[in-house]
Chains A and B, each alone.
Chain A
Amino acid sequence: MEIKPLLWRAVLLSMALLTALPILAVFGYVFVPAPEVWQHLRETVLSDYLLNTLWLVLGVGFGVLLLGLPAAWLNSMCQFPGQRFFEWALLLPLAMPAYIIAYTYTGMLDFSGPVQSLLRELTGWGYGDYYFPNVRSLGGAITMLSLVLFPYVYLLARAAFLEQSICVLEVSRTLGSNQWQSFFRVALPLARPAIITGLSLALMETLADFGTVQYFGVTTFTTGIFRTWFGLGDHAAASQLAALLMGFVFVLILLERWSRHKARYHHTSSKYSRLPRYPLRGSYAVAAVLVCALPLLLGFVIPVGQLLYWSVTTATNGLDADFIKLVWNSIMLASLAALFALLLALILGYGKRLSNDPLVNLTARIAAMGYAIPGTVIAIGVLIPFAWMDTQLNTISQQWRGSTIGLVLSGTLFTVLFAYNVRFLAVSLQTVEAGLGKIKPTLDNAGRSLGLSAFGVLHRLHLPLMKGTLLTAILLVFVDVLKELPATLILRPFNFNTLAVRAYELASDERLADAGLPSLMIVVAGIIPVILLSRSIGKSRAGEH
């Protein structure tokens, strides 16, 4: 039995390391000096990258909190018309890829789009006669990203609110705070870890976003990395930019940790009483409905309406047997990736719980950073080690059999799946870790004392207890993969397309209307898991079964 922990450690470490490999591979260039390019960047665009990225992160951070938090609170604590509908419908924007919502709003609100054209027609104004916010701007990018990313905050904040002991809120009332004050002084601070998690998911997606900012002509770190890697052809400077981006993420995480200080957020209370929702009436009810309806309308209903309109006008072009294959490819890939990521997250998460090995922790942290790294960078990071391994395999094969065997790893769907895993491990790992964290260690001890092995504890206790959590992890990754574009585009094998690839090809050929149908299909395929997700969370209120 002595060897087992060692074996565990080796398995964990190699898994974490393998996942971190692509990120490390890209950062392999970090130490190559590139003074000339850096001087150029400093003199010209670097400050733009920095400022735009900063504003984007601040703006989206503010936006997702503004859209997600009030809705989460209303949906956990109040009763108002349509509340049961909004409860799950507010997750729908998750199914909408950011680059697609950007296409739709540009189509509608652009200077030459129908809204402004109609305005000019009605008023007789011309260019420059009136003010109209420009969609293709930093503000536009912030709005688009906030509209599709706020569900992360909504999702996690609502789960946290539902789990809070009602007692702490009642204490606050007896100490003279009304419902709203209690929300700000108790519920919000207590939900902080969950809100931060949701916020960090949203912000990591924001940092990794390329499609939206590029389409809107906003130069950020991400577009800068591309421009430097490809346009200037300087890999060292590009990966240094990427490293800077990671540093940025790291500092944010550290700041948050530090600001928590000694305060804990797990509940000192174990008693959960019936959660009384207080009914809202009159203008309060109207306000509540507006708070929930607006994000849903802007983040889902309107863009889907536009996609529908485009799909109907161009349906004859896109709908054929080929299209069904696209749908199948997308769903198959997303399901596989979701299972794959869950398995890895379970092993890593459980391993961390058991061994608490600092080395494993660190590697898992690095591996989970993939979420903030643009898909293209990940894809190249995957190609570097995979192509190297393929070369080695071929050299060996040449020596043994006298012939080469071609590419074994690169250019297969396995590579694509692996890249998804690197990109989205953070999502499944965070979910699984949160789920495991809720299970008291005494339960592990009880299981072990009743004769279960470590695996038995996982199998017989944790997994049944975490059903909802696991489903959440699967569904989140599924939806993310469905929307993923850059890594798929670079790594996919011959004659293999997905809905996202098709939508991109048409949209980048500036055929927005033709892109409507595949885009709509991505959203439709994402809706079902999103609804399931909402159900599994509704059931997860602690203390109720």
Chain B
Amino acid sequence: MIKNISLALLTLLPLSLPSLALADGEVNVYSARKEQLIKPLFDKFTAQTGIAVNLVTGKDDALLERLRLEGDNTPADLLMTADAGRLYRAVEMGLTQPVESEVLTKAIPANLRDANNQWFGLTSRARPIFYVKGKVKPEELSTYEDLTDPKWKSRICIRSSDNIYNQSMLGSMMAVNGVEKAQAWADGLVKNFARPPEGGDRDQIKAAAAGQCDIAISNTYYYGQMLAGENAEDKAAAEKVAIFWPNQADRGTHINISGATVTKTAKNKDNAVKLMEFLVNDESQQWYAEANHEYPVKAGVAIGDMLQGWGEFKADSLNLSELGKHNAEAVKIMDKAGWK
């Protein structure tokens, strides 16, 4: 019996080691973006250039940790995240290297990339306020700061503070208003929660549509997916709410990016840069806008009817590195505020 088990293991074990041979010249990517949101573009890249792309997806923090522990021997050339804060952290941890690419610096606005070209934003998304049509008049809304007003008591839905989008949103506020005001804002917002935070961004919109609250905070592409999706219930829910772009009179609506950075010891740096450049060309940027309802980082790229229908808005021009700088402190503020 032991013999049989050992034999089975011996024959099967080689199956478990296929990843040893990563050919030179291929690009190895650690991505916190979900496979379905990135793989189609990689396939196009391979088709056009003949450069193969190998992919591991995962949660951003975990991938960062893996990168850190693997150190100089890491096979990863490129790290992609769904948030600027994590890119900032990768730089802080010394896991990245700068990239000189005219294509990238030209295509991407300065606030959406690192000042030292350590990381680059590839798509952008806004985190505006959604209100239930008929229950809230857009005139009643103005800024994020205003959401602490007692008139919104028990009317706001937002997800847990575990989520990086909320941490980054608070981070942007800390950068502008300082820690004390940010704490006061978090305290006030928690007081206006319709219910303890639960679920994801879509769930906030659904809860608002179902009458649990009047205001929801969500990223734009979730709203776009719901409107465009096959699920009739989701679509109906999304149609009950509308976007309000806050802070148009001052700093603008909070935005975040998905982006990429080349690892410090990348063995295929040139091809990695080629891949990044590919991702900001017009065609790729348009694909993002259409397939995932994200905003292109590159100016002048055509966006679909849906995104156009949401209207033009002024985006916060804060350099997104600030989000990362304030992240740990933001978590503490939320803990103190009792934001679950």
Note all chain A residues with C-beta closer than 8 A to B199: 106, 110, 136, 215, 217
Would you call A505 and B34 a contact (CB within 8 A)?
A: yes
**A223-B162, A413-B16 given as contacts; is B203 within 8 A of A110 (CB)?**
yes
Residue on B with the closest CB to A393? B73
21 A-B interface contacts by CB (under 8 A): A110-B199, A120-B211, A127-B212, A226-B61, A232-B331, A314-B230, A333-B16, A339-B5, A343-B5, A343-B6, A380-B69, A407-B75, A410-B66, A412-B19, A414-B16, A464-B1, A493-B19, A495-B19, A505-B35, A505-B36, A509-B36
The 7 A-B pairs of least Cβ separation, nearest first, read: A493-B19, A413-B16, A230-B61, A494-B54, A112-B206, A112-B210, A127-B211
Would you call B18 and A112 a contact (CB within 8 A)?
A: no
CB contact list, A109-149 vs B, under 8 A: 110-112, 114, 116-117, 120, 126-127, 134, 136-137
| Chain A 462-494 near chain B by CB (<8 Å), digits 1 or 0 | 011000001000000000000000100111111
Interface stretch, picked from A186-194, A275-283, A382-390, A440-448, is A382-390
Indicate which residue in A233, A333, A387, A490 contacts B58 across the interface (CB closer than 8 Å). A490
Note all chain B residues with C-beta closer than 8 A to A411: 19, 70, 75
B205 to chain A, nearest CB (A): 9
Interface stretch, picked from A38-46, A177-185, A524-532, is A38-46
Please count how many residues in chain B sit with their CB below 8 Å of the partner chain's CB atoms: 72
Would you call B162 and A111 a contact (CB within 8 A)?
A: no
Q: How far is the CA of A339 from the CA of B8 in the complex (A)?
A: 8
| Chain A 209-243 near chain B by CB (<8 Å), digits 1 or 0 | 00000111101000100110111110000000000
A118 to chain B, nearest CB (A): 11
A386 to chain B, nearest CB (A): 8
B17 contacts chain A at the CB level, 8 A cutoff: yes
Would you call B34 and A494 a contact (CB within 8 A)?
A: no
B327 contacts chain A at the CB level, 8 A cutoff: yes
B184 contacts chain A at the CB level, 8 A cutoff: no
Note all chain B residues with C-beta closer than 8 A to A463: 1-2
Note all chain B residues with C-beta closer than 8 A to A54: none
**A44-B336, A126-B211, A343-B2 given as contacts; is B12 within 8 A of A332 (CB)?**
yes
Indicate which residue in A111, A417, A490, A496 contacts B212 across the interface (CB closer than 8 Å). A111
Would you call A112 and B167 a contact (CB within 8 A)?
A: no
Query: A interface, by DSSP: helix, strand, loop or mixed?
Result: helix
Residue on B with the closest CB to A217? B198
Would you call A497 and B35 a contact (CB within 8 A)?
A: yes
**A106-B199, A495-B55, A510-B201 given as contacts; is B18 within 8 A of A413 (CB)?**
yes
The range of chain A's interface size is 35 or more
Indicate which residue in A44, A379, A407, A470 contacts B73 across the interface (CB closer than 8 Å). A407
Indicate which residue in A120, A216, A505 contacts B198 across the interface (CB closer than 8 Å). A216
CB contact list, B230-249 vs A, under 8 A: 230-231, 233, 237
A513 contacts chain B at the CB level, 8 A cutoff: yes
Indicate which residue in B9, B63, B69 contacts A336 across the interface (CB closer than 8 Å). B9
CB contact list, A374-403 vs B, under 8 A: 376, 379-380, 383-384, 387, 390-391, 394
Q: How far is the CA of A186 from the CA of B17 in the complex (A)?
A: 52
**A232-B331, A510-B202 given as contacts; is B1 within 8 A of A490 (CB)?**
no
Note all chain B residues with C-beta closer than 8 A to A126: 211
Q: How far is the CA of A219 from the CA of B233 in the complex (A)?
A: 29
Q: How far is the CA of A314 from the CA of B234 in the complex (A)?
A: 14
Would you call B56 and A492 a contact (CB within 8 A)?
A: yes
Note all chain A residues with C-beta closer than 8 A to B69: 380, 383-384, 387, 410
Would you call A227 and B331 a contact (CB within 8 A)?
A: yes
